[in-house]
Chain A
């Protein structure tokens, strides 16, 4: 009964993937289709280009920003919900609504919030006295901070995912353990770092891996806000592969880049599974 699903994924993911990887060993004429086997030349060309190494670095930074902030905020809110108990349910419902919003809408919305002159964020910051003028922080047009700014809608969209998962995990922390720690005089930070977080490790691992992969693949949310600019400061690997493929029409080079991109994600995911999750060692 597994067969239809296996066949489906083989035809519509496996086969395209094989073609994609095969293309990475060829020099391919755009639109004409003349192909010539060139071995690993596309790979060395990609690795030698600043565009590729820069985009790989930016993808990593973007993913770390998104996941780190999401995890910190998500955990804080999950602890807040737990501290308030059952009566926080209404808030939990409200809190999860961004999960359902399309990334393209979120990107557009945040671009509107962050825009220099008529954006509401800078206006509100000015009103409370943090900024002198509304163009003081150029969130999306200053290359030094744009990569951080484009990450904001992603963080906004999915912090609730981390919160929900951690909240569910927190409900399973045995009460006796917390009581015992309290009787021994442990304070809240100690309980949090020595008992709760270690117990939640499998849950944290799953949440971080899922979100890490999704953040590393982010495309529309960045495209709609900055289209990779200003000065390429927000061009991540997914945007670079897209541009190389569709705009510059170089499928060979794009395939080599995409293959390394995929391998990198797989590698990080495997390392993450073993480093955080440690299946079989001290799973509770």
Chain B
């Protein structure tokens, strides 16, 4: 237990109340989004605004999901995020493994360079990427977008995987080698199963980075590969301000990842804090 824990009974009661208030305030925006999505379209823009609707309807959901391209954009978002996660992991796992096992200066330099890559704004590389993907013949495809998204998630993936591999003692690899495994064999058969939790965390972050990304999607897709964030943004210009169906679409897009968070909470906390706390 930690020395920061407050023990006085009155003090603890006050702190619990404070925490409850903070949680309600912090949770309110999303709860309000959900409540609004079940109101009638007229009620969503009623003055004065109310927290709870007077009747429960799925009308907004029907409108939002019935619009052209919405379902297709969900498929595109999923395909792009899965592809991008796969690319990111396939590249990050061996790179991170090499960095922790060979400990060459070039490995350390590469970690730094990867972090600098993370700083580059999407707008800077986005436009040259448009012509690069056109030259490669994959313009406006989920693959192209997945590659672009992987440039965002790869640095973080390498960083995370390096921390996870660091926690595995070298002796394990040595033992595997004595038993006749090659370096790659040791990685695949012995080390990877040990860090499978870490791989899962890294995968979640790569998936989320792609699922929620906007600017690359805006620049690199037009019709065929368009993802849902772009569709959500387009709702306001194309159809006027239809807040009802916009909240419904936003809810449908957010609920899977919010549920994912709750289910995998422990792993996500581990991933978020690992790199940072190790400094």
Contact = CB atoms under 8 A, between A and B. Distances in A.
Q: Do A and B bind each other?
A: yes
Interface of A: 1-2, 4-6, 8-9, 12-13, 15-17, 19-20, 77, 79-86, 88, 91-105, 108-110, 112-113, 117-120, 123, 126, 134, 156, 159-161, 164-165, 167-175, 177-179, 196, 202-203, 206-207, 210, 213, 217, 219-220, 223-224, 238, 241-242, 245-246, 251, 258-259, 261-262, 265-266, 269, 277, 283
A170 B95 contact: no
A202 B29 contact: no
A262 B121 contact: yes
Given A1-B94, A217-B122, A13 B117 contact: yes
B122 A12 contact: no
Interface in B81-118: 87, 90-92, 94-95, 97-99, 106-107, 110, 113-114, 116-118
A262 B2 contact: no
B223 interface: no
Given A103-B212, A164-B272, A165-B273, A13 B91 contact: no
A241 B121 CA distance: 10
Interface in B143-169: 147-148, 150-151, 154-155, 158
B63 interface: no
Contacts of A16: 124-125, 127-129, 132
A104 B214 contact: yes
Nearest to A192: B4
A12 B125 contact: yes
Given A2-B94, A2-B107, A269 B119 contact: yes
B277 A203 contact: yes
Contacts of A126: 48
17 contacts: A2-B99, A13-B120, A17-B128, A20-B125, A20-B127, A84-B5, A86-B1, A94-B26, A94-B27, A101-B212, A165-B276, A168-B277, A170-B4, A206-B279, A219-B123, A238-B123, A259-B124
B229 A83 contact: no
Contacts of B275: 206
Contacts of A277: 279
Interface SS of chain A: helix, strand, loop or mixed? helix
A13 B151 contact: yes
A142 to B, nearest CB: 19
B119 A266 contact: yes
A88 B276 contact: no
A179 B27 CA distance: 35
A93 B265 CA distance: 7
A117 to B, nearest CB: 5
Contacts of B56: none
Contacts of A134: 47-49
Contacts of A242: 123, 215
Interface size class of B (residues with CB under 8 A): 35 or more
Given A1-B95, A80-B22, A120-B51, A98 B151 contact: no
Interface stretch (B172-180, B189-197, B249-257): B249-257
B73 interface: no
Contact of B120 (A17, A103, A112, A164): A17
Contact of B229 (A86, A159, A164, A220): A220
Given A8-B91, A96-B269, A15 B212 contact: no
A247 B44 CA distance: 33
A224 B231 CA distance: 12
A223 B12 CA distance: 43
A173 B4 contact: yes
A144 to B, nearest CB: 24
A18 to B, nearest CB: 8
B54 interface: no
Contact of B118 (A177, A207, A213, A251): A213
B62 interface: no
B66 interface: no
B12 to A, nearest CB: 7
Contacts of B113: 9
Contacts of A81: 19
Nearest to B237: A227
B100 to A, nearest CB: 11
A77 B18 CA distance: 10
Given A9-B113, A84-B15, A84-B16, 5 more contacts: A4-B91, A16-B129, A94-B26, A109-B30, A242-B215
A85 B125 CA distance: 45
B208 interface: yes
A9 B117 contact: yes
A161 B276 CA distance: 11
B268 interface: yes
Nearest 3 A/B pairs, CB to CB: A16-B128, A168-B273, A220-B214
Contact of A102 (B2, B46, B119, B212): B212
